[in-house]
């Protein structure tokens, strides 16, 4: 599978070089520009961190020179990719917080982001995006896209023992997915946030082994005071716009982290500009994560205290959360579409609105809210024969679920 991923990355590199060259020809560029524009694919996320599994997506960033713009990326590149026999299920997601093209390349899921930088040429030999001058002249969306790779590389630089970090992060990712608390869109921590949380524990405890890091991880984050003014930071918050000699716009106020009472679970990215990677976390999902931290803390503490005599094994830590057995009532949100392209866009739109629904549930009057517990499940399910009777000509369907449980007396104590 590793060889397949490397092959996919190599093929994407060839495709984007051909695409950029064709864009230059179409736009009437001179021959020198046509020959030297280049273009480069940078991986980031789990693949870059070395913690990917066979089913993990490839997070890839296409970096192009300044004369190749976002319109080229979303209008011309998709058609070029669709003409490739290895590509299937391609959809463009232009209105996402970080716009991207989603596709399956020879069986591998790929999320392809775009950034153009202030240069006439992007060489295949370019190895790093770490220097802040890379951001000069970049638009808002390019900076957000570049931050994925820049944050990933910054994390790798601060961990004292790479192998221990990777093993611990693999464990935490498996635990979070099995317990249903892995999804930035649904209001939990996403991949970057979990990586930062693990890196912070490794940074603060450089001499601990993996099992000790796991115990420390759950204990620390369960007992931590989660407040807007107490963020997790790997080093310092890099937010001084005066540290660079060029202007960076922040139209929605989220590009540069600032203390904000709306941030209930702040985890800050370690590259300039520092962003809050968990702006979607709300009161409900924060409580869900803290509850899971507490359960995991008890399990790991028991295992570490009892050692080989423990009747509880590490398998218990990774036990899947029985979502549909744990709750008495459910809200079902159905997503019905006629085509794959429309479905993915509509699904993304619904996902973006789920945070608002959770906030509405959380703001129920105190008398009701105190006796109810809500929990979204981050995985969508195919409805099959359970789709609404008015499904009509809709060919594709998904559903998200929210569990609702009436708290028992004493649950709040």
Q: Which of 173, 219, 345, 355 is catalytic?
A: 173
Q: Which of 59, 153, 397, 398 is catalytic?
A: 59
Is position 45 annotated in a ligand binding site?
Answer: yes
Place of tokens 């079902």: 332
Is position 80 annotated in a ligand binding site?
Answer: no
Asked if 121 is an active-site residue, the reply is: no
Is position 285 annotated in a ligand binding site?
Answer: no
Distance CA 400, CA 208 (A): 39
Is position 173 annotated in a ligand binding site?
Answer: yes
122: tokens are 């992007």
Contact present, 48 and 103 (Cβ < 8 Å):
no
Asked if 352 is an active-site residue, the reply is: no
Asked if 362 is an active-site residue, the reply is: no
Asked if 182 is an active-site residue, the reply is: yes
Is position 228 annotated in a ligand binding site?
Answer: no
Distance CA 167, CA 126 (A): 29
Asked if 366 is an active-site residue, the reply is: no
Which residues are within 8 A (CB) of 75 and not within 5 positions of it... i.e. 6 or more apart?
Answer: none
Phi, psi of 201 (to 5 degrees): -65, -40
Cα-Cα-Cα-Cα torsion 124, 127, 133, 137, nearest 10 degrees, comes to 30
Q: Which of 182, 263, 327, 401 is catalytic?
A: 182
Is position 57 annotated in a ligand binding site?
Answer: yes
Q: Which of 9, 37, 111, 177 is catalytic?
A: 111
Is position 119 annotated in a ligand binding site?
Answer: no
Is position 111 annotated in a ligand binding site?
Answer: yes
Distance CA 144, CA 139 (A): 9
Selection from 150, 131, 122 nearest residue 66 by Cα = 122
Is position 165 annotated in a ligand binding site?
Answer: no
Asked if 109 is an active-site residue, the reply is: no
Selection from 109, 77, 107, 108 nearest residue 92 by Cα = 77
Is position 182 annotated in a ligand binding site?
Answer: yes
Is position 86 annotated in a ligand binding site?
Answer: no
Is position 252 annotated in a ligand binding site?
Answer: no
Binding positions for ATP: 44-46, 53, 57-59, 111, 173, 182, 191-192
Binding positions for Mg(2+): 57, 59, 111
Binding positions: 44-46, 53, 57-59, 111, 173, 182, 191-192
Which positions are annotated as active-site residues?
46, 57, 59, 111, 173, 182
């Amino acid at each position: 599978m590793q060889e397949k991923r490397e092959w996919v990355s190599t093929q994407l590199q060839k495709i984007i070089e051909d695409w950029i060259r064709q864009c230059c020809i179409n736009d009437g560029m001179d021959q020198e520009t046509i020959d030297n524009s280049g273009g480069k694919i940078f991986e980031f996320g789990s693949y870059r961190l070395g913690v990917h599994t066979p089913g993990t997506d490839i997070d890839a960033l296409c970096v192009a020179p300044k004369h190749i713009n976002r319109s080229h990326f979303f209008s011309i590149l998709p058609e070029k990719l669709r003409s490739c026999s290895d590509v299937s299920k391609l959809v463009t997601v232009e209105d996402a917080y970080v716009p991207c093209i989603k596709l399956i390349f020879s069986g591998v899921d790929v999320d392809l982001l775009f950034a153009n930088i202030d240069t006439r040429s992007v060489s295949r030999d370019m190895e790093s995006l770490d220097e802040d001058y890379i951001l000069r002249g970049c638009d808002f969306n390019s900076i957000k896209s570049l931050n994925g790779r820049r944050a990933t590389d910054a994390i790798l630089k601060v961990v004292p023992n790479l192998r221990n970090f990777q093993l611990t992060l693999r464990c935490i990712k498996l635990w979070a997915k099995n317990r249903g608390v892995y999804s930035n869109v649904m209001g939990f921590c996403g991949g970057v946030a979990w990586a930062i949380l693990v890196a912070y524990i490794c940074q603060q405890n450089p001499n601990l082994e993996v099992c000790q890091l796991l115990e420390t991880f759950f204990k620390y984050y369960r007992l931590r005071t989660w407040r807007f003014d107490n963020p997790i930071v790997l080093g310092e918050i890099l937010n001084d716009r005066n540290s660079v000699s060029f202007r960076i716009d922040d139209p929605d106020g989220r590009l540069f982290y600032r203390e904000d009472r709306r941030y209930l679970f702040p985890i800050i990215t370690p590259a300039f500009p520092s962003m809050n990677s968990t702006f979607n976390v709300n009161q409900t999902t924060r409580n869900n994560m803290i509850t899971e931290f507490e359960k995991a803390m008890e399990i790991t503490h028991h295992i570490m205290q009892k050692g080989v005599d423990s009747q509880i094994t590490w398998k218990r830590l990774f036990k899947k959360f029985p979502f549909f057995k744990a709750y008495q009532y459910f809200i079902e949100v159905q997503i019905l579409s006629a085509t794959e392209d429309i479905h993915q866009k509509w699904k993304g739109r619904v996902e973006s609105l789920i945070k608002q629904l959770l906030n509405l549930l959380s703001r129920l009057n105190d008398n009701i809210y105190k006796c109810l517990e809500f929990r979204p499940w981050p995985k969508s399910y195919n409805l099959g024969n359970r789709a609404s009777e008015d499904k009509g000509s809709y060919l594709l369907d998904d559903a998200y679920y929210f569990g609702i449980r009436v708290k028992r007396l004493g649950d709040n104590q």
